[in-house]
Structures are given as C-alpha cells and as structure tokens.
C-alpha cells in the first residue's frame, strides 16, 4: 500500500500524521518506508533526528540522478536510510529538492518516483509519502505514485475553503494519470472537542457527504515533545490519548484497506 498525505495548506500536520501512522505500522510488524518529498524535511528530522543535509544520499540525489545519465547509477535502495525504530526506513528530504523542481518539470520526470517505489514493492508492506504544502512537481509525483490519499484538516474556515479545490486537484490526477488513486479520507487534526467552531466545521463536512475519518486527532502539547525528542507518539508515550487516537486511526485504515 502506498499512501500520500497531502494538503496544499501549510501547518495542518502532514508530517506529524505521516510519521505517526508509519511508526505504528512498523511497530505492528509491517515493513514501512517514509518518503519525505518536502524540502523542509520535517519528516526526516522527526524520524531520523537529523536534517537531510547530514546524509550522503537523499531524495535530491535520487532526482538529480534522473536528470543526469550515469554509467553506474545508484539503486533505489541506496537512497533509503534506516531509522532508529525497527522496521521503519526513510528516504530523506534535502533543501536541494527546491532547486531541482524546474528541471524535473521541464524534462517531464513526473513518473520517476512511481517507478522507483514500484521497484521497492517487494521490500515494504506500507509506504507513506509526505508532501510539500503546494500542488507542485513533487506532490503530483506522489499522487501519481500512490494508491491512497489522506487529507489532513485542522478545523478552520481557511482549511475548509482550500479543501474543495484540493479534492478537485486529486480527482484530476486520478483521471489523467492514476486510475488506482482514491481519497481514503479527511483526517481531522488538532481537534478541540470542547470548542464550538471545530465541531461545527467538521459536522458540516460530514453533512456534505465528505469522507471524514474517525477518530479525530486531539490538540495536545505532547506532540511538541514528540517532535523535540524525534520519537513518534507510539514510542514516546503509547498510553497517551493522542497516541491511542493514532493507533485507532491506523487500525481503521488497515481494516478497510488492508495496510
């Protein structure tokens, strides 16, 4: 199963959701890979405790290799780094991804990520793809490479307005490039159960028939500690309410989609 976590709006928790679901997947014994396509590298820092600039091979090197013919190109597996957590690997991000984007677009390398991940299909049970907060070359590559799409939603009106165009963009990618792609659901993040506005906004999405997933992920200062220690919630405090919400969300997706 290849799953992309995507929203064009920043600050909605893409990297946090990606890493925590992936960590639970690996914790459950599934061979799991996180692909960090965001030049900011938040997933890389979260899972590896270091920035992409500190690794010998990153996704910037992978994409650069697609642009330049080499007699002995590196195998896709050589761009993978093992995390400190058993069964969980990462293809690290790098700030250089930003500079490569224009060249990759102009030379139509949009299917290279899909091809690379298909090479790894026998190596991993689950692949999670983190994306930049924009519809650009990297997010399109991810949507073309994925089977499922999770959409983080942080319960404000700006996110709601952006949601409709996002769904249209995903549908366009599905129609033009990837018939297997499906929106698995909207992940409600930073939910405050006692506040009226989040409840109202989420209920309106449900009333419109949009695929809102449960459980909702609570707002918690514990997640900041998780980031600082580079330890996903399942490893930091498995009994915490937010950790249990992530587990329930992961298991719900696993029951429905088998991964």
**pLDDT tens, 74-86?**
999 999 999 999 9
Sign of CA dihedral 206, 212, 215, 219: negative
In a 3-state reduction of DSSP, which class is residue 17?
helix
Please give the residue that has the higher pLDDT: either 127 or 10. 127
Work out whether strand 32-36 and strand 182-188 pair parallel, antiparallel, or are unpaired: unpaired
Query: What's the average model confidence in pLDDT over 65-71?
Result: 86
In sequence order, what are the beta bridge partners of 130? 5, 36
Phi/psi class of residue 101: alpha, beta or left (left: φ > 0; alpha: ψ in -120 to 50)? alpha
Q: According to the model, what pLDDT value does residue 196 have?
A: 83
Q: Find all residues with CB under 8 Å of 9, minimum gap 6, and list them.
A: 133, 154, 158, 159, 162
Q: Is the pTM of this model over 0.85?
A: yes
**C-alpha count within 13 angstroms, C-beta hemisphere, residue 159:** 24
pLDDT at 258 over 90: no
In a 3-state reduction of DSSP, which class is residue 147?
coil
Sketch out the chain's domains with CATH numbers: 2-257 (3.40.50.300)
In a 3-state reduction of DSSP, which class is residue 49?
coil
């Amino acid at each position: 199963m290849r799953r992309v976590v995507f929203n064009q709006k920043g600050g909605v928790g893409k990297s946090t959701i990606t890493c925590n679901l992936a960590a639970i997947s690996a914790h459950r014994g599934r061979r799991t890979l996180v692909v960090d396509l965001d030049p900011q590298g938040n997933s890389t820092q979260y899972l590896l405790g270091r920035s992409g600039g500190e690794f010998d091979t990153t996704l910037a090197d992978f994409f650069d290799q697609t642009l330049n013919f080499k007699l002995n190109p590196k195998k896709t597996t050589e761009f993978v780094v093992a995390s400190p957590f058993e069964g969980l690997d990462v293809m690290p991000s790098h700030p250089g991804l930003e500079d490569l984007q224009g060249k990759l677009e102009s030379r139509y390398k949009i299917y290279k990520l899909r091809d690379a991940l298909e090479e790894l299909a026998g190596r991993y049970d689950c692949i999670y793809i983190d994306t930049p907060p924009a519809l650009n070359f990297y997010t399109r590559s991810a949507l073309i490479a994925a089977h499922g799409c999770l959409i983080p939603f942080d319960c404000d009106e700006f996110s709601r307005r952006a949601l409709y165009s996002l769904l249209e963009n995903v549908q366009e990618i599905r129609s033009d490039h990837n018939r297997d792609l499906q929106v698995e659901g909207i992940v409600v993040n930073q939910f405050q159960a006692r506040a009226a506005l989040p409840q109202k906004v989420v209920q309106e999405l449900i009333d419109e028939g949009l695929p809102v997933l449960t459980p909702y992920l609570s707002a918690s200062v514990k997640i900041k500690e998780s980031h600082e220690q580079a330890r996903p919630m399942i490893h930091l405090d498995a009994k915490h309410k937010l950790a249990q919400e992530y587990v329930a969300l992961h298991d719900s997706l696993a029951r429905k989609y088998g991964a």
